[in-house]
Structure 1
Amino acid sequence: MDLHLLNIFRTVARLGSISQAAKELQYAQSNITMKIQQLEKSLQSPLFYRYNRGMTLTDKGSLLLAYSEKIFHLIEETEAAMKDDQTPGGSLIIGSMETTAAVRLPPFLSTYHQTFPKVDLTLKTGPTEQNIQGVLQHQIDGAFIAAPVEHPALIQKEVFEEEMVLITDTKHPDISSIEDIQTDTILVFRSGCAYREKLEHWLHQEGLIPAKIMELGIMEAIIGCVSAGLGLSMLPLSVVSKHIQEGSLKQHSIPHPYEKVKTVFIYRKDRYIPASLTAFINLLPEKVKT
């Protein structure tokens, strides 16, 4: 199959427009149209639905796009493997939950950067599910996520164990049972967050429907709103211990088996592991408890 045609197809699929693809690839629109028609004829299947204002993939087009991404990623991986002299360098993109990035990673990342200064290290934060998909789709090289995770394409290494606590403002009464929070607003990260899923699972198991769930995008917003008395949340003790000690938050214990969450580092088992990622993995600490 002609890689040149596949690249044109990928570009049109990504942009959803012949004109936009022609502009990016610096080709005439008629040339792009002819190439797509040539590919469709070769595969004996329409790849796009055409509209006045753009194009969308057919089922066959979506399938071809998935295979195309794998093909081009494999080519890029092959080139990287051939150029890799086993000296850590180049780009390394790591994903992480925001809480882990804020509390656990700074000393480790500083050590890595000082030890391997030729590596262009990028850290991207997001919820666990987003990080898993990022690794699976080759968008990031590895990620710190909340366990458990079970996927045949992933390798995982346990690095942290977090103690989870409920946090409220300091005036909130002590919480002795799940019923004590049934009228509270629950403050959570967006969908895909493992901590949110664990809290919601606990509430579901107890048959409790929260009065209100408020979704906030960043950790600082959750902590600030809880401190102001807007509601309660569940976060790792390592994240909120400073605020508790300073007297701006109040912690409440969580019963077994909801009080512990393991953090693991994941990466693909079916990809070439560059020296930069190997060095990163080797530098990871053994499991650290709160």
Structure 2
Amino acid sequence: MELSQLKMVKAVARTGSIARAAEQLHCVPSNITNRLKQLEGELGTSLFIRAGRGLKISPDGEIFLGYSERILALVDEAKRAVDRQAEPSGILRIGAIESCAGGRLPPLLAEFHQRFPQVTLELVTGTWSQLFEELQHHRLDGALVAVDTPQPKLDRTALYSEPLVLVANADAAPVLSPRDLQDQTLFMWPGGCPYRRALEHWLNAHDVTVTIIGYASWGTIIDCVSAGAGMTLAPEGVLDRYTLSAGLARYRFADLQPIDIRFVWNKEIERHTARDAFAQLLQERLGK
């Protein structure tokens, strides 16, 4: 068993195709096919199942993939550990929920690039559950999320509290109290979103009934509000992109508790120079 074979397993599992994995690994498909057959012979089990024109990882393959990702991540950590004087470099994969990615994060990405030009930073967005899954499988080095849900493999630190504001079209009737929302339409992310949970908890506390329509995009939600189709409860940081181009009114209520934003990483990797530098920058600029 060789590290190159583990990389092949990871690439084929992620792409579902030997041809695409070969492009990613800069080798010929036949090499991957032969090396995977050798590995399956050594393990005495099939790692992949033919699914149409592609490949689907088998149950045994899922188990082996988890170990492969951990081994490859530890190899990278070992290289960094013996080069303690090195400046941050290489690829840094960061995930973020959309409100962070489009709100307070862009200026920090630019600053990080200026400080550490040898780091290639890749940013992906997703729900907090998707980001946790990617972190647990070492597909991300860190992520910004708006939940505090302990996970066995993950560690976390609080960064800042994001105020929540009720947003409506500026021409709509003013919202002076939660009762003014009775029977109104609100656009929010689908169930499971921490901002939606905060809204539902707040409305229940005031015995207010509304119609909630779910869209998985702040851009779509704000556009609907701007068009006068309804309202939303949004993190204040995400609104700065839209205020200049849309007639929006913001309403703040004392009993709307802010949402804590946290930076999360896989604690199996104790030292990651680029990740640690990024986390330090987050604390400097956003930390409480």
**TM-score, normalised to structure 1's length?**
0.76
* Counterpart in the other structure of 1:253: 252
Displacement after TM superposition at 1:249 (Å): 1.6
Change (3 A) 1:244 1:8: closer
Q: Which moved more, 1:94-103 or 1:237-246?
A: 237-246
- 1:196 paired with 2:193, answer no
* Counterpart in the other structure of 2:228: 229
- 1:32 paired with 2:33, answer yes
- What is the letter of the counterpart of residue 249 of structure 1? L
2-side partners of 1:235 and 1:200: how far apart?
13
Displacement after TM superposition at 1:16 (Å): 4.2
CA contact (8 A) 1:178 1:206 kept: yes
- What is the letter of the counterpart of residue 73 of structure 1? A
Partner of 1:285: helix, strand, or coil?
helix
- What is the letter of the counterpart of residue 250 of structure 1? A
Partner of 1:173: helix, strand, or coil?
coil
Change (3 A) 1:187 1:111: same
- Who wins on radius of gyration, i.e. which is larger? 1
- 1:125 paired with 2:125, answer yes
Partner of 2:145: helix, strand, or coil?
strand
Percent identity among equivalent residues?
Answer: 32
CA contact (8 A) 2:66 2:137 kept: no
- What is the letter of the counterpart of residue 28 of structure 2? Q
- What is the letter of the counterpart of residue 118 of structure 1? Q
Q: Which moved more, 1:241-250 or 1:94-103?
A: 241-250
* Counterpart in the other structure of 2:91: 91
Q: Which moved more, 1:85-94 or 1:163-172?
A: 85-94
- CA deviation profile, 1:104-150 (whole Å, cap 9, x unmatched): 23444444333334333343333333333333332222222213231
CA contact (8 A) 2:69 2:138 kept: no
Change (3 A) 1:134 1:190: farther
Given candidates 253, 262, 265, the residue that maps to 2:263 is: 265
Aligned-residue Cα RMSD (Å) equals 3.7
* Counterpart in the other structure of 1:142: 142
1-side partners of 2:131 and 2:176: how far apart?
35
* Counterpart in the other structure of 2:279: 281
CA contact (8 A) 2:128 2:146 kept: yes
Change (3 A) 1:177 1:54: same
- What is the letter of the counterpart of residue 187 of structure 1? F
1-side partners of 2:72 and 2:66: how far apart?
10
Displacement after TM superposition at 1:225 (Å): 1.8
2-side partners of 1:17 and 1:238: how far apart?
40
- What is the letter of the counterpart of residue 59 of structure 2? D
- What is the letter of the counterpart of residue 61 of structure 2? G
* Counterpart in the other structure of 2:102: 102
Partner of 1:152: helix, strand, or coil?
coil
Report 1:163-182 matches (<5 A): 163-175=163-175, 178=178, 180-182=180-182
1-side partners of 2:3 and 2:245: how far apart?
60
* Counterpart in the other structure of 1:155: 155
Partner of 2:138: helix, strand, or coil?
coil
Which segments of 5 or more consecutive residues in structure 2 lack a partner in the other structure?
A: none
- What is the letter of the counterpart of residue 140 of structure 1? L
Displacement after TM superposition at 1:181 (Å): 3.0
Displacement after TM superposition at 1:200 (Å): 4.1
Change (3 A) 1:200 1:130: farther
- What is the letter of the counterpart of residue 264 of structure 2? I
Displacement after TM superposition at 1:232 (Å): 1.1
CA contact (8 A) 1:169 1:227 kept: yes
